[in-house]
Amino acid sequence: ANIPTTFPAGFLWGGATAANQLEGAWNVDGKGLTTAEVVKKAKNRQEFSMNAVTKETLAAAIADKTDKLYPKRRGIDFYHRYKEDIALFAEMGFKAFRLSIAWARIFPNGDEEKPNEAGLAFYDKLFAECHKYGIEPVVTISHYEMPLGLTLKQNGWASRDTIDAYVRYAKVLFERYKGQVKYWMTFNEINASTWGFTGTGALDDELSDQEAMQLRYQALHHQFLASAQAVKIGHQIDPENQIGCMIARMQTYPKTCNPADVRAAQLQDQLNLFFTDIQVRGEYPNYMNRYFAENNIKLQMAENDQALLKEGCVDYLGFSYYMSTVTSAASQVEKASGNFALGEANPYLEASDWGWQIDPVGLRVTLNEYWDRYQVPLFIVENGLGALDKLEADGTIHDSYRIDYLRKHIIQMQEAIKDGVQLIGYTMWGPIDLISASTSEMSKRYGFIYVDQDDDGNGSLKRYKKDSFYWYKKVIASNGQDL
Ligand code: BG6
């Protein structure tokens, strides 16, 4: 029988990061302030502070010139330590390193005529360092941030004008890094746009829930158009470019076999598949017409928008996968539509310390579902476990729980490959500890490499190898066989 038994040759094993969570150096070499750098650390583990930005907190953040309350301003100082960090990735045998470019290093305010040469030069050096070790850079053009100037001037993605600012920026990147970068993603987790500020770069705290959803879906429409244009231009500049979308996949299960629950879960699932339906197939799916009508959401569309979406279909589907959720007819009615939610508890699953339900089999389900639906190459560009790690006196970190989590997910990836799914790579999230996106904590660690820094920014920033470092090295060397 023609069943693939193992990971394909050239499989892109590696790790994934984002500029605003690790670079630091927030105010050097001409860089402007970004939307990520006005987000405060969460008050507790459950607060998703990334969307808690209001007019008042924004004004206070702009006035504050320190990084004390804003951990994404300091990151883990990757900007100055990238050589050391990439050498560690190379030691693990990375084939790929996913990173994002900080838009505000290139266009500090978002609307300059010319890009900032110092910003462009930084990424030249970074890519050269990757290629030195045969590591393929995988670049996200916008990962949860944009120049704050665009928020102040035009409320971020709420404005259609932001499309032009983004397309200009993307074009500069495609031209400058032609031959250095082949794999791109237009937006990180584009579905974050329906969750609020981090996705839209737009303030919506003074709006009613309905108005906020209207704004977010309109902002999302602008991002879809920006993405489609970037795909088109990226292919024109270099036909070798592989340009993907990136979604936070939330596989959901019906709570019971009651058909009402099954239907509720189906709708919940459609609300998550909607993003890839547009970016892979190039058109709004019919089920959203009803959803928009029932929620009184009216999208402003220009004449050519639909044609443009069709011309900008992505080459591959990138997604993050951390957990699955449970949906019941009752919970769906209660939940504010479109909001990010962890769903109901699944009695068959354990959860992380942050309440994320751990579901390796769900990854296989997702991979099969995506492949059946789209038949485009799939790329798992994030997966991992945020946990509290302990640095021992002798400099070791025994993170067997992380190895266990990753191992179980990799086993399910292999099962999906045997099912016939085309999977091209796996970049686990946060190969080196960095600032959490949702809470801005440092203590929510994902890495193979420990970074000595606490939630308040104290620490030597020294790097230490965890047990999982040596384990992942074996996984890559054996192309996923030695788990
Ligand atoms: C994804 C984001 O949602 O999850 C990353 O793309 C993020 O930026 C990752 O860091 C893990 O989330 P968190 O909140 O634990 O950092």
In sequence order, what are the beta bridge partners of 432?
449
Helix (H, G, I), strand (E, B) or coil at 44: coil
**Is 144's C-beta closer than 6 angstroms to any atom of ligand 1?**
yes
Residue 2 within a domain: no
Distance 216 CA to ligand 1 centre (A): 20
Between CA 385 and CA 447 the distance in angstroms is 9
Answer yes or no: is 150 within a domain: yes
Q: Could you tell me if residue 209 is inside a domain?
A: yes
Residues with Cβ within 8 Å of 96's Cβ and at least 6 positions away in sequence, in order, are: 12, 13, 14, 135, 136, 137, 138, 183, 425, 427
Say if 68 falls within a structural domain: yes
For residue 330, name the pLDDT band (cuts at 50, 70, 90): confident
CB atoms inside a 10 Å sphere around CB 212: 21
Place 334 in a pLDDT band, splitting at 50, 70 and 90: low
Residue closest via CA to ligand 1's atom 3 equals 248
Annotated catalytic residue 189: no
How far is the centre of ligand 1, averaged over its atoms, from the C-alpha of 144 (Å)? 10
Contact 51, 107 (CB under 8 A): no
Tens-place pLDDT, residues 233-245:
999 999 999 999 9
Ligand 1 near 142 CB (within 6 A): no
Question: What pLDDT is attached to residue 342?
Answer: 62
Give the separation between CA 481 and CA 83, rounded to whole angstroms: 29
Count of structural domains, the chain: 1
Mean predicted lDDT score pLDDT of the chain: 96
Least confident of 45-54, 212-221, 281-290, 454-463: 45-54
Give CA angle at 431 (316, 250), nearest 5°. 50
Distance 421 CA to ligand 1 centre (A): 25
Domain of residue 234 covers 12-477
Q: Is 127 part of any domain? A: yes
Give 396 or 338, the one with higher predicted confidence: 396
22 inside domain: yes
pLDDT at 4: 84
Report how far apart, in Å, the C-alpha atoms of 271 and of each of 201, 249, 291, 392 are.
21, 11, 9, 44
Atom of ligand 1 nearest to the CA of 320: 1
ipTM: 0.99
CATH number, position 301: 3.20.20.80
| Tens-digit pLDDT profile for residues 159-179 | 999 999 999 999 999 999 999
CA quadruple 233, 234, 235, 239: dihedral, nearest 10: 140
Q: What is the pLDDT of residues 176-208, one digit of tens each?
A: 999 999 999 999 999 999 999 999 999 999 999
Q: Please, which pLDDT band fits residue 340 given cuts at 50, 70 and 90?
A: very low
Closest CA to 30 of 101, 117, 114, 113: 117
Residue 404 has pLDDT above 90, yes or no: yes
> In the structure, what pLDDT confidence band is assigned to residue 333 with cuts at 50, 70 and 90?
low
Q: pLDDT at position 169, please?
A: 98
Cβ of 444 closer than 6 Å to ligand 1, yes or no, is: yes
> For 7-40, what is each residue's pLDDT tens digit?
999 999 999 999 999 999 999 999 999 999 999 9
**Does residue 1 register a pLDDT over 80?**
no
Q: Average the pLDDT over 99-122 and give the result.
A: 98
> Out of 41-45, 139-143, 251-255, 452-456, which region has the weakest mean confidence (pLDDT)?
41-45
- 18 in contact with ligand 1, CB cutoff 6 A: yes
**What are the start-end ranges of the H helices in 344-392?**
360-374
Question: Would you state the structure tokens that stand for residue 136, as one six-digit string?
Answer: 């393929």
DSSP state of 34: B
C-beta 189 within 6 A of ligand 1: yes
Alpha helical stretches, state H, 93-208: 103-106, 117-132, 148-154, 161-176, 197-200
